[in-house]
């Protein structure tokens, strides 16, 4: 197994198994939505596409944010894990639109296996990948922006890589990196009212959920559904090579 690291700007070239990481906040929000009972999430590349998808699924709920984390006007929910954590979404279909994580999923058109991931479901994601044993795994960090170091996603990628090696790393340093990242420090800052401290508290938790989030392609849509993953029975593992080219049995 070869592990590569790419950014949002590079992810369109990714092949094999691809894990798109967005800790703050797209795929943390998605994980809490599934924990609240949502049946599936349909990623939308734009607000316009989200509204088109909703014409096909009128009962679907919309969830997402614009750049800077501001909720999208007329959407049912923002891109807020703390905002969805207390909801009852049993069986609901959601449409999600965000500037980073969802955008990257849409761009990864050459992936044979595609997963959405964040720290709260990292171990389950790694366990699923080890069972699928693809020859190449690409970890896509989506948090790189002109004014952000993206280290919240790099921390998750590094934690995933250690887990893929069969290691049992202490999650505390990775959690601290999420909190100390450029974006993490903006939560609870009065200058960023759309970034509540509760969202950071919900995101900076490792392995809260025992499911992974594989992405399938059905007709012209991407669909994320939770997949329960039992913890591994042992730490046996095969050697995994590295390829840092940049700072599911559910094929797509």
In whole angstroms, give the CA distance from residue 240 to residue 70.
40
pLDDT value for 248: 36
DSSP-derived 3-state class of residue 131: helix
DSSP-derived 3-state class of residue 89: coil
DSSP-derived 3-state class of residue 116: strand
Closest CA to 165 of 209, 196, 126: 126
Helix (H) or strand (E) holding 153: helix 151-164
pLDDT value for 245: 41
How deeply is 47 buried, as exposed, middle or buried, from its count of CB atoms within 10 A (0-12, 13-18, 19+)?
middle
pLDDT tens sequence for the chain (252 residues): 899 999 999 999 999 999 999 999 999 999 999 999 999 999 999 999 999 999 999 999 999 998 778 899 999 999 999 999 989 999 999 999 998 999 999 999 999 999 999 999 999 999 999 999 999 999 999 998 877 899 999 999 999 999 999 999 999 999 999 999 999 999 989 999 999 999 999 999 999 999 999 999 999 999 999 999 987 765 444 444 444 443 333 334
In whole angstroms, give the CA distance from residue 243 to residue 104.
20
The pTM for the full model equals 0.91
Dihedral, 192, 181, 75, 140 alpha carbons, nearest 10 = 150
pLDDT value for 234: 55
In whole angstroms, give the CA distance from residue 185 to residue 132.
36
In whole angstroms, give the CA distance from residue 198 to residue 190.
14
Q: Which domains does the chain have, with CATH numbers?
A: 2-242 (3.90.1560.10)
How deeply is 45 buried, as exposed, middle or buried, from its count of CB atoms within 10 A (0-12, 13-18, 19+)?
middle
């Amino acid at each position: 197994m070869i592990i590569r690291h790419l950014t949002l700007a590079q992810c369109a070239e990714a092949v094999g198994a691809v894990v798109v990481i967005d800790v703050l906040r797209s795929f943390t929000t998605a994980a809490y939505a599934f924990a609240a009972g949502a049946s599936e999430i349909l990623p939308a590349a734009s607000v316009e596409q989200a509204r088109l998808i909703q014409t096909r699924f009128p009962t679907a709920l919309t969830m997402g944010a614009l750049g800077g984390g501001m909720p999208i006007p007329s959407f049912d929910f923002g891109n807020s894990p703390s905002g969805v954590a207390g909801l009852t979404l049993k069986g609901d279909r959601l449409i999600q639109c965000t500037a980073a994580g969802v955008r990257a999923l849409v761009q990864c058109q050459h992936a044979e296996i595609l997963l959405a991931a964040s720290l709260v479901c990292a171990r389950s994601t790694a366990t699923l990948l080890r069972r699928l044993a693809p020859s190449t795994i690409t970890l896509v960090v989506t948090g790189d922006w002109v004014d952000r170091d993206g280290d919240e996603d790099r921390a998750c990628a590094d934690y995933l890589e250690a887990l893929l090696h069969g290691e049992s790393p202490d999650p505390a340093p990775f959690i601290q990196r999420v909190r100390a990242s450029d974006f993490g420090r903006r939560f609870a800052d009065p200058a960023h009212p759309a970034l509540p401290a509760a969202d950071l508290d919900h995101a900076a938790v490792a392995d809260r959920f025992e499911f992974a989030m594989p992405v399938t392609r059905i007709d012209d849509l991407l669909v994320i559904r939770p997949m329960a993953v039992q913890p591994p029975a042992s730490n046996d593992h095969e050697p995994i090579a590295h390829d840092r080219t940049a700072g599911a049995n559910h094929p797509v």
